[in-house]
Structure 1
């Protein structure tokens, strides 16, 4: 089925954007892949017009970059860029957590608690192989960011950086056994404590817990790359 047969309220460019973005985030279009408009147009069954619009929007989201003498290509994992991204997340998601503790309604907090229960029932989590990997409203971090009720923060983290973060998360968890995602029970406990702090309206504690949670992942990334470098020496 081509994208043109999908019936919904999205424009064709939106549909193309969603599919290409999903394929990049999941690694179906690998990092560093040169973007061929003709190949993608054929793959998705669309004309080049909506495809070009989608590529332009993906470029603004940091998933596609343009290089001299190369043209458009999918961004590649970089140690430095990944660490910088985690540094941004530590501070901005920490702030989002503080604001969520102040601004989330009781119903929203109950929904967040229900979300964790859903995560706990996921089969991969029960098997101890990975933490629940869903996007948008089923993503713990995404929900807390929206719970901050800060529009600028939501735009920055959930629109400009969100899919770049997802791509790095997916790519890194696929190659590293030291990432926090390799220890789903630890990640779940961290999430539980964060929700408890939000429910208690303790913004300071919620912020600290979120920053430490993300900091653990950053340190795991640093450890992985240090080991990789040592192995190549």
Structure 2
């Protein structure tokens, strides 16, 4: 197979495995079986092996020597640290985008968001990515659209599973976009920080309910 076709196949396999992680078809913390995936996706082991390496580089798959690959487990301490970083960076991202995006770009974003809301489709339009791209800051864009993008997508997918959170997130996004349209950078940043703060609390509560009960028991003292 030509190198370009092989690369394209690996990209497709990587995207498919990532979708399986997002949907829960591959459970978080569960094994990533290359042979089973190759059979399921009707490809050879080579593209799957390369796809797993890519996902490992993105922090979505963990593979230790002599052990099988496993999907990353979303721990509460890791989530809190990443969302604290996200709150700070995305606050500045939306501030810059509010100041730098053209009226036409903001109008296009509002229309695209409205269309996505009608379809209840949060996948086709990633508001956070569009804002990062509009910030005009290459380092912010690299952090949010490349380095942390896939891990954040995984966390945000879990956050969206909390009861009522998806509807609340749509309303919060709409308020942020309206503040951007009004060129109110202070309000846009404040709303973005509050939005991510609520997402953090929602996801933390969800992960705590899913955490296995402690196996340790205290010895009962008798006097």
Asked whether 1:153 is paired with 2:124, we answer no
For 1:171-182, what aligned pairs fall within 5 Å after superposition? 171-174=158-161, 176-177=162-163, 180-181=165-166
Q: How far, CA to CA, are the matches of 1:222 and 1:23 in structure 2? A: 22
For 1:15-54, what aligned pairs fall within 5 Å after superposition? 15-54=12-51
Task: Tell me if structure 2 keeps the 8 A contact 1:17–1:51.
Answer: yes
Q: 1:215 to 1:41 in 2, by over 3 A?
A: same
2:116 is matched with which residue: 109, 114, 119?
A: 119
Asked whether 1:209 is paired with 2:191, we answer yes
Q: How far, CA to CA, are the matches of 1:206 and 1:39 in structure 2? A: 46
Give the match for residue 197 of structure 1: 179
Q: How far, CA to CA, are the matches of 2:159 and 2:173 in structure 1? A: 20
Task: Tell me if structure 1 keeps the 8 A contact 2:10–2:48.
Answer: yes
Give the match for residue 123 of structure 2: 134
Q: CA RMSD in A?
A: 2.6
State how many pairs are aligned: 211
Give the match for residue 59 of structure 2: 62
Q: How far, CA to CA, are the matches of 1:11 and 1:116 in structure 2? A: 30
Q: How far, CA to CA, are the matches of 2:6 and 2:178 in structure 1? A: 38
Give the match for residue 220 of structure 2: none
Q: 1:200 to 1:228 in 2, by over 3 A?
A: same
Q: How far, CA to CA, are the matches of 2:157 and 2:67 in structure 1? A: 25
Question: Offset at 1:50?
Answer: 2.1
Structure 1, 203-212 or 63-72: larger mean CA deviation: 63-72
Question: Offset at 1:224?
Answer: 4.3
Task: Tell me if structure 1 keeps the 8 A contact 2:159–2:202.
Answer: no
Question: Offset at 1:212?
Answer: 0.9
Q: 1:224 to 1:24 in 2, by over 3 A?
A: closer
Q: How far, CA to CA, are the matches of 2:73 and 2:97 in structure 1? A: 33
Structure 1: gaps of 5 or more residues:
125-131
Question: Offset at 1:228?
Answer: 6.6
Q: 1:160 to 1:198 in 2, by over 3 A?
A: same
SS in 2 for 1:67: coil
Say which structure, 1 or 2, has more relative contact order (CA 8 Å, 6+ apart): 1
Task: Tell me if structure 2 keeps the 8 A contact 1:115–1:140.
Answer: no
